[in-house]
Each structure stands twice: as structure tokens, then as C-alpha cells.
Amino acid sequence: MTSLLFVNNSPEPGRPNAKLGGGGRSALLIIDGLRKKGWDVSVAVPGLGPFTDAAEKLGVNPRLFPYDDVCWRRPYYSLKVFGYWHKLLKELKPDLVVMNYPGLARNIVLAARRFDVPIVSHVRFKVTAEDYKWWLLGSYPIEGLIFNSHFLQQESEPVISSFSVRPKKQYVVHNAVDLDSFLPLPLPEEGMPLRVGMFANFTEAKNHEEFVKAAALVHEDFPQVEFVMVGAATLETEVEERIRRLVRNLGAEDYVRFLGHQEDIAGEMGRCAFTALTSRYEPFGRVLIESMACGRPVVAANVGGIPEVVEHGVTGLLYPSGDPAALAGAMAALLENRPLLEEMSRKGVERVHERFSIDSHLTRLERIYRQTILSC
């Protein structure tokens, strides 16, 4: 049996109210899928929270690891961290270490080198030099980086190429959606009140202001439509309050609603005619494939990795980020054209099954993981 240690970067200690994000959901799908395929998967995390709760439901008992970064100015603590990883790797004897965030390498790389255990890392967010300098400047580089979009790989290249020691291989594997949990749902019947939803936690990058401003514009011609935001404040707690003030200032309380964190994302999507994603920056956008799997077209900003997921005019509509009027126009196009809404709903479901299923996702990852093990 092939053994693997999966290291996740959340939940961070001191953040008991942190919600499970897209990166965590992706990690859980991988962990669960590999275990079902016969892999012996252990999990290490820095703290307790929604991720560990979900992992335990899968039958996994996560180990807690020291979260603070090692630093040569703190030699005693750094040795303590090295000792922890040394002990864990000696106990588990994994064939491979998989990280959900490359910045964690600074804590484990020395111990992995001691046992000749190869490391690969998923890359789900923008790369910074700080994330990579510890292992790129060392003599034990990460074997491979797995980006969740071509956009993210291209954006990362200037940082990676600036170092003399680089990861041996780079891959692009798009995220996947659990098609057993996100099932196609009938669109709301014609003549029924319609709802447009935005599914995103409140951060600056998600740009909820644009959604609210577009909702106010659409309301002028479609007063029966309701706009809902599903998500919670995470680190940037002031963002949600700012959006609430904007809703009050626009007099939009009657048709713009805050639903907070919801466990049943698929069910909430099913109550919408379509969804919107207004991100200023988005490496991939897991919510896009979840929405499409439910048969809900997406109106999304044409930024980052989003065009790799949403085909404009086929599975949804793209608009230029920073233009609420353009977003409102795209929303109106779907609200007033039922045949277009139905066709995009059908095409979206087809696209997800063709390109973003968990089975195809796991097949590609298994190939990468096994090739890494065999090459070391």
C-alpha cells in the first residue's frame, strides 16, 4: 500500500471562527478519493476547526503540527519544529509528502531530506518569493508544483525563475467537484420569482461591492428579482460591514440579502436561477464548477483563471471586472432570455462532467504522485 502524508495549511491556530474555504474542500476531496483508491493517507494540520471536523467524518484523525515558521533567529524553536517532523516522518514512513500550500515547506523540508521523502505541493494562490525562498535556496528542492490553473502557473513563473534552484516539474491540474453532492437541479419555473446568488466569503478580492451595485441597476428593470450573498467574514471582518453599509445606502435591503455561512451550498445554488462571481483576482474559482454542476450558469469577471472554467456564451457570461453596468447587462441578458438560461444550464452540466469530475482529477493526481515516488 502506498502511503502519503497530506499537510494542510488551515485552520490556523487562533482562528476558531474560520470557515472551510475552496482550498480546504479541494484537499478533502483528494484525501477521501485517495483513501477510497487504497492509499494509506495521513493528514497533518496546524489547528482544529472545520477542516479537521470534516476530515474526522471521513475517518481521518489529523495530527497537529507547530504552525509558526522556523527561523534562524529562533534556533531552539527551529530545532523543536525539525524534531517534530523528524519524529512524525519516522513514525509514518510515508512514500510522499503532499502539501496544500508551498510555504509550509520551510517547516518540513529538512526532515524530509533526512528520510529522502519527496515533496510535491499544490499551488492554489498567488506565489510570493517569501513562500519559496527557503526551499528554492536549499539543496533539496520540491519535486513538483501542481497549479490549479494555467493562469496561476504563468503568474508564478517570474518568481520561480528568479531562483537558481527550481522545482523539478510543474503541472496544471484544474480543481474538481464532487458530482454526487452537486447534482443538476431543475431551474425555477417560469413566472416564479427569481434569485441571483453570489457564493463567496467576504474578502477584498471577491469584490462584493460590484455585485451589490449591479443588483441595484438590475432592480430598476426586474424589481421581482432577489439577490443573495452566501458567505461569511473570515480574516477581513470589516469587508462584510462595508458591504452592509453599501446596501443600506442604496436602499437595497428589500432585495439584497445576506445569508451568511451555509453548509448546504448545493441546495442554496438550486434556489437561484444563476450565480455571479465578481472577483478582482481569482486563480480558479471552485464555486464556478459547483454552480455549473448544479445546472446554474455563471456570470463572472473575466480575470485570472476564470476563462479556463467558464466559456463565454456557452456555460455562462464573462464581463470586464470593475464595470458594474456590464455585470448588470449580463445578468439582465439571462433574466430576460429563458431559452439562453436553459441552454447554458445544460451546457454547464456537460462541461463539468467532461472536464471537472473528481474521477478524472484523481486519475491525474495519482499519476503525478506515483511518478514522483518512482523517480526518487
CATH class of 3-176+357-375: alpha beta
270 pLDDT band (50/70/90 cuts)?
Answer: very high
Mean pLDDT of 172-195: 93
Residue 273 has pLDDT above 70, yes or no: yes
Q: Which of 152-166, 213-227, 327-341 has the lowest mean pLDDT?
A: 152-166
Mean pLDDT of 284-297: 97
What's the pLDDT at 76? 73
What's the pLDDT at 375? 87
What's the pLDDT at 322? 96
Which backbone phi and psi does 234 adopt, to 5 degrees? -110, -110
What's the pLDDT at 165? 62
What's the pLDDT at 297? 98
Cis amide leading into 11 (omega within 30)? yes
- The residues of the chain that CATH labels 3.40.50.2000 are 3-176+357-375, 195-355
Q: Which of 69-78, 94-103, 129-138 has the lowest mean pLDDT?
A: 129-138
Q: What would the pLDDT profile of 325-355 be if each residue is shown by its tens digit?
A: 999 999 999 999 999 999 999 999 999 999 9
Q: Which of 23-27, 79-83, 147-151 has the lowest mean pLDDT?
A: 79-83
CATH number of 195-355: 3.40.50.2000
**Bridge partners of 272?**
none
Q: What would the pLDDT profile of 42-97 be if each residue is shown by its tens digit?
A: 999 988 888 889 999 999 999 988 766 656 667 777 778 888 889 999 999 999 99
Cα 224 from chain centroid? 32
What's the pLDDT at 233? 81
Residue 123 has pLDDT above 50, yes or no: yes
Q: Which of 44-48, 135-139, 274-278, 291-295 has the lowest mean pLDDT?
A: 135-139
